[in-house]
């Protein structure tokens, strides 16, 4: 049945669409509290954050294979009818946007891991292997999230937030939501029964892929905690037949001021330890002259408490 395009206000009912139809690691972030949702005629959807006259979309529309061009045209038409300027924060393929007059610029790099070939053996992931071995030797264990872990994860997140003066960011950077943990593939790290960290993963591409989202550990947790969580997650996904995983995109460094908002260089170094394949992601702005304003709009979408608050995060 063909659906009539309409604005949707109940994202919980649509959260499975990116899991089934999303082919980009950014697709799962189409359905978040930051985004207004648009159901498309082909059964796909698009999400956007409204900032002034800008509609900031995390990525292209999530749509059935073969309908991408029609879906993109529909999204652009509907935003135009609302008087909104579209900017796409991170798209893996810039060509459909360039064909429609957009100016596309590399903005980030996605850290993709081929899971059938993933292993901690060998030289290139030796530091992760040593961290995982050290964590296990210290008595840390990893469990899949269950209701019994909710309070402990909340305490970890609250402790982590005390170290972030600007608070949580948003948009394609997930916030802690205890009600949403059961909808993700969440893994928790325990030290003698006490939760000291956790990570969440979103499903996309009809179950064939995962993307890392929330990463939290308490101050003072053993150093290898996060390596254990991510390493064990990846090994588990590989054993379950998942084809690929993304550790998330790392924005390309734009200088010291941008580093204060989001420390890209240290994040890149950390993810590089997993030896991913780096794939460019593009920001698509209406034209070259609007690129500065479009980039500012995207930054505002990420900074839920304002850019000045984000500047205080690492200042």
- The CA–CA distances, whole Å, from 300 to 54, 61, 264, 275 equal 10, 21, 17, 31
The yes or no reply on domain 111-279 and CATH 3.40.50.970 is: no
Phi and psi, residue 135, nearest 5° = -65, -45
Domain with CATH 3.40.630.30 in the chain: 6-106+282-311, 111-279
Rounded CA separation 7/247 (Å): 31
Which pTM was predicted? 0.88
Contacts 24+ apart (CB under 8 A), 214-220: 214/157, 214/174, 214/175, 214/176, 214/184, 216/153, 216/156, 216/157, 216/160, 216/176, 217/156, 217/160, 217/189, 218/155, 218/156, 218/159, 218/160, 219/159, 219/160, 219/162, 219/163
For 28, the token pair is: 């799962």
pLDDT string in tens for the chain (315-residue length): 333 344 554 456 677 899 999 999 999 999 887 788 999 998 899 999 999 999 999 999 999 999 999 999 999 999 999 999 999 999 999 999 999 999 999 999 999 999 999 999 989 999 999 999 999 999 999 999 999 999 999 999 889 878 765 555 656 566 667 777 788 899 999 998 999 999 999 999 999 999 999 999 999 899 899 999 999 999 999 999 999 999 999 988 765 545 555 567 888 999 999 999 999 999 999 999 999 999 999 988 887 555 444 445 444
Superfamily of domain 6-106+282-311: Gcn5-related N-acetyltransferase (GNAT) (3.40.630.30)
C-alpha pair distances (Å), 88 with each of 53, 132, 144, 195: 14, 37, 34, 37
Residue with tokens 């891991």: 113
26: phi then psi, degrees, rounded to nearest 5: -90, -15
């Amino acid at each position: 049945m063909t659906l009539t395009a309409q604005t949707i206000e109940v994202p919980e009912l649509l959260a499975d669409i990116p899991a089934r139809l999303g082919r980009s690691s950014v697709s799962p972030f189409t359905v978040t509290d930051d985004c207004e949702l648009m159901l498309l005629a082909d059964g796909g959807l698009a999400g956007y954050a409204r900032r002034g006259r800008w509609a900031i979309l995390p990525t292209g529309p999530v749509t059935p294979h073969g309908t991408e061009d029609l879906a993109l045209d529909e999204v652009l038409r509907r935003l135009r009818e609302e008087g909104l300027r579209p900017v796409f924060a991170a798209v893996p393929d810039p060509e459909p946007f360039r064909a429609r007059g957009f100016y596309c610029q590399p903005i980030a790099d996605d850290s993709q891991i081929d899971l059938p070939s993933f292993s901690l053996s060998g030289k290139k992931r030796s530091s992760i292997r040593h961290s995982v071995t050290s964590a296990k030797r210290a008595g840390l264990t990893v469990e899949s999230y269950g209701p019994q872990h909710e309070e402990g994860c909340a305490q970890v997140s609250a402790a982590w937030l005390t170290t972030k003066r600007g608070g949580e960011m948003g948009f394609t950077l997930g916030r802690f939501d205890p009600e949403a943990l059961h909808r993700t593939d969440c893994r928790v790290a325990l030290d003698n029964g006490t939760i000291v960290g956790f990570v969440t993963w979103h499903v996309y591409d009809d179950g064939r892929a995962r993307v890392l989202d929330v990463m939290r550990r308490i101050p003072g947790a053993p150093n290898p905690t996060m390596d254990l969580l991510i390493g064990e997650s990846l090994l588990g996904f590989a054993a379950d037949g998942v084809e690929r995983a993304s550790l998330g995109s790392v924005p390309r460094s734009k200088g010291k001021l941008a580093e204060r908002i989001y420390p890209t260089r240290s994040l890149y170094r950390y993810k590089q330890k997993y030896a991913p394949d780096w794939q460019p992601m593009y920001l698509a702005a209406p034209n070259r002259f609007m690129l500065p304003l479009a980039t500012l709009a995207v930054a505002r979408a990420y900074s839920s408490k304002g850019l000045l608050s984000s500047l205080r995060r690492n200042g």
